[in-house]
Amino acid sequence: MILHTSALHYLVKELKVRIDEMTWFEIKEALEAGKKTVIVPIGSIEQHGPHLPEGTDTFAGDIIAEKIALKLGNALVAPTIRPGCSQHHMEFPGTITLTPETLMQVIREVCYSLASHGFKNIVLLPTHGGNFAPTATVAPEIARELRDVNIIALTDLKELIVKMNEVMAEYGVNFEDAGAHAGASETSLMLAYKEELVRMDLAKRGYTGKYTTSQLFRKGLKAFSEIGVLGDPTKASKEAGLKMIDILAEFYANKIKKEIEL
Ligand SMILES: [Zn+2]
């Protein structure tokens, strides 16, 4: 099939949703065309075992938010905020952390900026465990400060982990191996999105025993796994990752639609 050049341009333009890849003219045009929803992912720069890059949670935010925006059809995506709150990974080189107070202030100021341009629905999407509590804390405060903007905070960490693990179960991977950090879940997602950054030759089974989130934040991840892994990344697959991105995007897009309609 031969596509006329102008048709190609049209396709590319229609698919542009990331504001850091758009010009201000394009953003103005999108707002005027009714794209009043913006998704703000909140990721991290932290160790993800011997096989995944430190930007893993940030990349997850980029791709999930982008897919959500495409499914919604009337939304744009802000650059993923990072670093995030990664105190429990500070025993590993390369991790950069913010205090919860700093992260909350950054989220607040990003929301003020976006609201001042006319966005009416701001969706906060943490994609790293340590960011959920600060996001849940600051979201109602911002909502009260920006009265005519809907601040939608997707801050149910359990829900996210369950969704990811449900997908992994379809591929024969159990809850423990799917894991909460650099395990089969996150590794699958990265194989689907940025395979070139995954060192599967170095992937090793991490801690798959019992622990609570409170213990993890208190003791730090190294107390559970010397290599910084919870789960078994060797069970990861690109297919599972592709499915996961789609399922998560669909799930969150529906949630956002409901929140806006209410
Ligand atoms: Zn992660």
Report CA(122)–ligand 1 centroid distance (Å). 23
Report CA(234)–ligand 1 centroid distance (Å). 16
What kind and span of H or E run contains 159? Answer: helix 157-170
**What is residue 141's predicted lDDT score, i.e. its pLDDT?**
98
Report CA(45)–ligand 1 centroid distance (Å). 9
Report CA(48)–ligand 1 centroid distance (Å). 6
Report CA(55)–ligand 1 centroid distance (Å). 8
**What is residue 261's predicted lDDT score, i.e. its pLDDT?**
78
How far apart CA 28 and CA 240 sit, in angstroms, is: 37
Domain ranges of the chain: 37-254
Report CA(113)–ligand 1 centroid distance (Å). 27
Report CA(57)–ligand 1 centroid distance (Å). 5
**What is residue 3's predicted lDDT score, i.e. its pLDDT?**
52
* Architecture of the 37-254 domain: 3-Layer(aba) Sandwich (3.40)
Report CA(44)–ligand 1 centroid distance (Å). 8
Report CA(76)–ligand 1 centroid distance (Å). 23
Cα of 104 vs its chain's centroid, Å: 17
Nearest to 122 by CA among 63, 82, 69: 69
Strand ranges, E, within the chain: 37-42, 75-77, 121-126, 150-153
Report CA(58)–ligand 1 centroid distance (Å). 8
pLDDT < 70 stretches in the chain: 1-14, 262
**What is residue 92's predicted lDDT score, i.e. its pLDDT?**
98
Report CA(147)–ligand 1 centroid distance (Å). 33
Residue with tokens 């703000």: 40
How far apart CA 130 and CA 137 sit, in angstroms, is: 12
How far apart CA 210 and CA 54 sit, in angstroms, is: 25
Report CA(81)–ligand 1 centroid distance (Å). 14
Report CA(21)–ligand 1 centroid distance (Å). 24
Report CA(91)–ligand 1 centroid distance (Å). 16
Q: Are 106 and 80 in contact (CB under 8 A)?
A: no
**What is residue 5's predicted lDDT score, i.e. its pLDDT?**
52
Report CA(15)–ligand 1 centroid distance (Å). 27
Report CA(49)–ligand 1 centroid distance (Å). 10
**Residue 211, CB-side half-sphere exposure with 13 Å CA sphere:** 22
Report CA(183)–ligand 1 centroid distance (Å). 9
**What is residue 25's predicted lDDT score, i.e. its pLDDT?**
97
Report CA(143)–ligand 1 centroid distance (Å). 27
Average pLDDT, the chain: 94
DSSP string, 71-85: HHSSEEEPPPB-S--
**What is residue 2's predicted lDDT score, i.e. its pLDDT?**
52
Report CA(23)–ligand 1 centroid distance (Å). 30
Nearest to 152 by CA among 70, 44, 71, 68: 68
Look up residue 201 and give its DSSP letter.
G
